[in-house]
Amino acid sequence: MSKIIVVTSGKGGVGKTTSTAAIGAGLAMRGKSTCVIDFDVGLRNLDMIMGCERRVVFDFINVIQGEARLNQALIKDRRLENLSILPASQTRDKDALTKEGVEKVLNELREQFDYIVCDSPAGIERGAQLAMHFADEAIVVTNPEVSSVRDSDRVLGLLSSKTHRAETGQDPIKPHLLLTRYDTARVAKGEMMPLEDVLEILAIPLLGIVPESPAVLRASNVGTPVVLEGKSPAASAYEDAVSRLMGEQIEMRVQRPERPGLLSRLMRREA
């Protein structure tokens, strides 16, 4: 049974596309046939991050409108044979994306792929709502920062009310928290919210912690998903996240300093 996973966040710039590419590639590396879809009509970028921007001929909208067959629009990744990309349209109007059209394409994709990973546009408008509408699971990408956490909370509200599963009374979409750009040094200094605080506020299961890492920009520069760019803390974090997504129990590997207990806080105050 194939799974549709939406990568969403509300806030822009938190790492949705990076995460879609890394998790899509990670699933393909683990032998799962995987398709990544760009839902950001007009501002497509998944093709750039995946490094296939010059191979785009037809796109998602062409398929929805019957101007191209699905297999003409799917771009096969050159590094991983069981990974494909369905790019968004760069020129069409956002309204070309219809609920019926999206459903039809997703159903067709379900027949050939184990995992369909939908890269949501930022915001909570039409494009973002369509990206999450038919999802079975959701990866909520969040930075340990107030506006990102607030927007993630809003997105969680939409996932549980405005989606196909919610509207038809099925089991709710399974949410996963992916905490990105995490900096243990700043957490230790009290400059960044620790994992525990974000988890307590959003109250959803943790899929992974991706540390702030120069590898992410390096990978995007050359159009390679970060898991294929070589060993890095970010790559390991995404590999672990992929394992958890596949149902494996993996220990959280990002080391973090202990929070000061009551005693040490009292002592610091007295000092």
Partner 1 sequence: MLGFFRRTPRPDTSAGAARDRLQILLAHERSGRTSPEVLPLIQRDILEVIKKHMRISDDSVDITVEPGDDFSTLEINIELPGTSGARRGIPN
Binding-site sequence positions for ATP: 11-18
As measured in angstroms, the least distance from the Cβ of 268 to partner 1 is 9
Verify binding: residue 259, partner 1, rule CB under 8 A: yes
Whichever of 35 and 198 has its CB closer to partner 1, that residue is 198
Q: Does 157 bind partner 1 (CB under 8 A)?
A: yes
**Residue reference for tokens 């785009």:** 56
Q: Which is nearer to partner 1, 103 or 153 (CB)?
A: 153
Q: Which amino acid is at 211?
A: P
Q: How far is the CB of 16 from partner 1 (least distance, A)?
A: 21
Closest CA to 38 of 154, 134, 127, 125: 127
Structure tokens at 210: 């991706």
3-state secondary structure of 240: helix
Q: Show Cβ contacts of residue 101 under 8 Å, excluding neighbours closer than 6 positions.
A: 64, 65
Q: What angle do CA 168, 172, 174 make, to 5 degrees?
A: 145
Report the binding-site residues.
11-18
Q: Does 271 bind partner 1 (CB under 8 A)?
A: no
Nearer to partner 1 by Cβ, of 71 and 161: the residue is 161
Q: Helix-strand-coil percent breakdown of the chain, rounded to 5?
A: 45, 15, 40
* Residue 136, both tokens: 């079975």
Radius of gyration (C-alpha) of the chain in whole angstroms: 19
Residues 38-67 that bind partner 1 (CB under 8 A): none
Residue 110 binds partner 1 (CB under 8 A): no
- The single residue listed with the structure tokens 């930022």 is 122
128 and 122 Cβ atoms separated by less than 8 Å: yes
Q: Cα separation of 152 and 149, whole Å? A: 5
Nearest distance from residue 49's CB to partner 1, in Å? 29
**Extended strands (E) in 3-155:** 3-8, 34-38, 75-76, 83-86, 115-119, 137-142
> By CB under 8 A, how many residues form the interface with partner 1?
21
Task: Between 167 and 191, name the residue whose CB sits nearer to partner 1.
Answer: 191
Closer to partner 1 by CB, 154 or 253: give it. Answer: 154
Rank residues 72 and 147 by Cβ distance to partner 1 and give the closer one: 147
User: What's the CA gap between 4 and 27, in Å, rounded?
Assistant: 13
Q: Which of 153, 166, 199, 233 binds partner 1 (CB under 8 A)?
A: 153
> What's the min distance (Å) between Cβ of 55 and partner 1?
42
Q: What's the one-letter identity of residue 201?
A: I
Stretch that binds partner 1, among 123-131, 146-154, 217-225, 248-256 (CB under 8 A): 146-154
CB of 192 to partner 1, least distance (A): 5
Among residues 4, 106, 139, 149, the one that binds partner 1 under rule CB under 8 A: 149
Site for partner 1 in 170-229 (CB under 8 A): 187, 189-194, 196-197, 201
Q: Which residues bind partner 1 (CB under 8 A)?
A: 145-146, 149-150, 153-154, 157, 187, 189-194, 196-197, 201, 259, 261-262, 265
